[in-house]
Copies of this chain bind each other. A is one copy, B any other.
Amino acid sequence: MIIVMKSGSTKKQIEHVAEKIKEYKLIPHISKGKETTIIGVIGDERILQNVPLESLPGVEKVMQILKPYKLASREFKKENSVIDVSGVKVGAKKVVLIAGPCSVESEKQLFQTAKAVKEAGVDMLRGGAFKPRTSPYAFQGMGEDGLKILAAAREKFGLPIVTEVLDTRHVELVNKYADCFQIGARNMQNFELLKEVGKTNKPVLLKRGLMSTINEWLMSAEYILSNGNMNVILCERGIRTFETATRNTLDISAVPMVKTLTHLPVIVDPSHGTGKKHIIDSMSRAAVAAGADGLLIEVHPKPEEALSDGDQSLLPIEYAKLVLSLKKVAKAINRVI
């Protein structure tokens, strides 16, 4: 950690900062320049993370050197983590395909979709039973009935299921049915929920918040890891920017960037990331080319009757066609679909 003193800070102020650092058994190292004095801290600066050093008199700013996360960092674990979701390996050579409707609406709708995406070569089935909706007047999901339909689809089609959990009170329930929890973008910093899923052993697909930095995203992963659950899959799903032509700006660069910082696998959700059906195919290919470990895509047998996100859902036939083109891109970069 580097503490930059204000120009004109007094000797007493500098010493006060140094004393403060020593209180935490760390060693301050003072360098006086012509224009400013800086104080370097030798030792594990994470100890000082919650110490309000900027409030000390004479301090201009505090700059962190070390990353604030530990278990999630590439330094902690050099090789890539491969997460096993009921037999599907996420983070291995195969780029994992996850597809399904935004919401579970009925057995018929889910089974029809599951059958189609299974034929297209999907590895895992998605579908929401609890839905976070911007409007209180919108469809809020089927709840446990939806979970039961998901479980039935797993039996019938042999696909592990991933489904969202919204509320600490539902973690136990969802755990009973799902192969993988999904934590949605709006809950990326719902720390109580992160702690609860962290106490299970089940894989967690952790979406990036639509307003979250990569650093915060990895800190949220750290919440799950530090509670004992090492099975975290990251999912980029678009961030909010000033651009309004797309629903969000899908940050494909987060894929290679995150892979340098962490050992955890990272997948991409181009459906929410763009919100525009006609560019999902291009962006799926881009994600695979950039090194994503998987793709999460919304598919609905009749998008115009979907109870949520119909505008951005692909038809099964469109999805099947997309998968064919993705196989070629994966091969071009020595991966497999």
User: What is the interface of chain A, defined by CB distance below 8 A to chain B?
Assistant: 2, 4, 7, 20, 29, 31, 33-36, 38, 40, 42-44, 46, 49-56, 63, 65-66, 68, 75, 132-140, 166-169, 186-187, 189-192, 195, 209-216, 219, 222-223, 226-227, 239-246, 249-257, 260-261, 273-274, 276-279, 282-283, 285-291, 303-313, 325, 328-329, 331-333
Contact = CB atoms under 8 A, between A and B. Distances in A.
Given A63-B2, A190-B186, A50 B139 contact: yes
B282 A256 contact: yes
Contacts of A328: 332-333
Given A31-B29, A65-B2, A137-B49, A282 B255 contact: yes
Contact of A257 (B137, B140, B195, B245): B245
Contact of A44 (B34, B40, B138, B289): B34
A253 B34 CA distance: 30
Contacts of A29: 31
Given A35-B66, A253-B279, A245 B136 contact: no
Contact of A332 (B239, B242, B250, B331): B331
Of the listed residues A135, A260, A288, the one surrounded by the most CB atoms of chain B closer than 10 A to its CB is A135
Given A136-B223, A260-B278, A311 B54 contact: yes
Contacts of A246: 253, 257
Given A2-B65, A136-B219, 20 more contacts: A2-B63, A7-B75, A35-B66, A52-B304, A52-B309, A52-B310, A52-B311, A53-B304, A136-B226, A136-B227, A168-B168, A186-B189, A190-B190, A215-B245, A239-B242, A246-B253, A256-B279, A256-B282, A257-B279, A289-B289
A135 B215 CA distance: 11
30 contacts: A20-B304, A34-B44, A35-B44, A38-B65, A50-B139, A50-B307, A52-B310, A52-B311, A54-B310, A63-B65, A133-B191, A134-B216, A135-B222, A136-B195, A186-B189, A211-B242, A213-B243, A239-B242, A239-B249, A241-B249, A249-B249, A250-B252, A250-B253, A252-B286, A253-B279, A253-B283, A256-B278, A283-B290, A328-B332, A331-B332
Contacts of A65: 2, 4, 36, 38, 63
Instruction: Identify the 3 closest CB pairs spanning chains A and B, nearest first.
Output: A52-B310, A211-B211, A289-B289
B286 A136 contact: no
Given A241-B242, A242-B240, A52 B303 contact: yes
Contacts of A140: 191
A173 to B, nearest CB: 13
B186 A167 contact: no
